[in-house]
Structure 1
Amino acid sequence: MGTQIQLYTSLFHNNPDAVFMFDMQGRFTGVNAAGEALVGYTSQELLNMKIWGILASTEDLDSKKQQQILSAGIRKNKHYQLLHKHGQVVDIIASSFPIFQNGEIISRYSIAKNITQQKKMEEALHQMQENFRLISENIMDLILIVNVDGMITYASPSVQAVTGLTIDQVINQHFSILVHPEQINSAKSDFAQMMKQKITLDAEYHYLHPDGRMLLFDVKGTPDICSNGHILSTVFVARDITERRQSEELLRYSDKLSVLGELSAGIAHEIRNPLTALKGFIQLMEGDEFANQQYLQIMRSEIDRITSITSELLIMAKPQALRFAPNGLLPLLSSVIKLLEPQALLKNVSILTDFPQVTSLILCEEYQIKQVFINIIKNGMEAMPLGGTLTIKVVERSSDIVIRIIDQGQGIPAELLPRLGELFYSTKETGTGLGLMVSTKIVRDHGGTINIASDVGKGTTVSISIPKALKPIVSFND
Structure 2
Amino acid sequence: MVMRQIVEFLMNSDQMDIGLAIVDSEARILWLNTTMNTWYSVTPEEEFPAHSAIQAIVGQVLQDKKNYPGVLVQEKLDGKVRSMIAYVYPQLKGECFVLMADIQDFQQYVQIQCEKERRETIGHMAAGTANIILNPLAVIKGTLQLLEKSSKDHVSVLQFAASPPHQKMTGYFKLLDEQIQTIDKALQRFLLFGKPFEWKFAPVSVLSFMQEWVPDIQVQALEKTVRFALEYPERNGFVFGHPKLLRAALQEIIDNALDASPPGSVLTLRINITDNHIHIIVRDQGAGIPKDLQSRIILPFITSKPDAIGFGLSFSHAMIAKMGGSLNFESSEVGTNVIVQLPTFTGTT
TM over 0.5: yes
- Please say if 1:297 is aligned against 2:174: yes
TM-score by length of 2: 0.61
Which structure 2 residue ranges, 5 or more long, are not aligned?
1-14, 16-48, 54-74, 85-103, 153-164
Distance in 2 of aligned mates of 1:439 and 1:249: 21
- Aligned mate of 1:463, from 329, 335, 339: 339
Q: 1:341 Cα deviation (Å)?
A: 0.9
Distance 1:387 1:400 in 2: 32
Specify which structure has the higher proportion of strand.
Answer: 1
Indicate the RMSD between aligned Cα atoms, in angstroms: 3.5
* Partner Cα distance (1:395, 1:329) in 2: 10
Partner of 1:449: 326
What SS does the aligned partner of 1:404 have? strand
1:272 maps to a residue whose letter is: L
Q: Deviations over 1:106-132 (max 9, x none)?
A: xxxxxxxxxxxxxxxxxxxxxxxxxxx
In 1, Cα distance between equivalents of 2:214 and 2:321:
22
> Contact conserved, 1:425 with 1:431, CA < 8 A, in 2?
no
The one-letter amino acid of 2:337's match is T
Deviation of the 1:472 alpha carbon: 5.2
Q: Which residue does the alignment assign to 2:268? A: 391
Q: 177, 201, 214: which one pairs with 2:76?
A: 201
Worse overlay, 375-384 or 431-440: 431-440
How far 1:435 moved relative to its partner?
2.6
Letter in 2 for 1:266: G
Aligned to 2:212: 335
Residue in structure 1 matched with residue 130 of structure 2 by the alignment: 268
Write the distance in 1 (CA, Å) between the matches of 2:123 and 2:51: 50
Rg larger in structure: 1
1:352 corresponds to = 229
Compared CA separation, residues 471 and 279, structure 1 to 2 (3 A): same
Q: Which has the higher contact order (CA 8 A, sep 6+)?
A: 2
Residues 332-385 of structure 1: CA distance to partner in whole angstroms, max 9, x if unpaired? 234322221112122222222333424543222222112222221222112114
- 2:192 maps to 315
Cα deviation code 1:364-418 (max 9, x no counterpart): 2222112222221222112114231112223345632222211001111111123
Q: 1:356 to 1:300 in 2, by over 3 A?
A: closer
Per-residue CA distance 1:147-191 (angstroms, 9 max, x = gap)? xxxxxxxxxxxxxxxxxxxxxxxxxxxxxxxxxxxxxxxxxxxxx
1:407–1:459 contact (8 Å) kept in structure 2: yes
328-337 or 255-264, which deviates more: 328-337
Q: Which residue of 2 aligns with 1:230?
A: none
2:292 matched residue in structure 1: 415
Name the CA shift for 1:385/1:372 in 2 (closer, same or farther; >3 Å). same
1:250 deviates by 5.0
Determine the structure 2 residue equivalent to 1:371: 248
Aligned residue type for 1:286: E
Percent identity between matched residues is 25
TM-score, L = length of structure 1: 0.46
Q: Could you say which residue in structure 1 is the equivalent of 2:113?
A: 251
Distance (whole Å) between structure 2 residues aligned to residue 346 and residue 336 of structure 1: 16
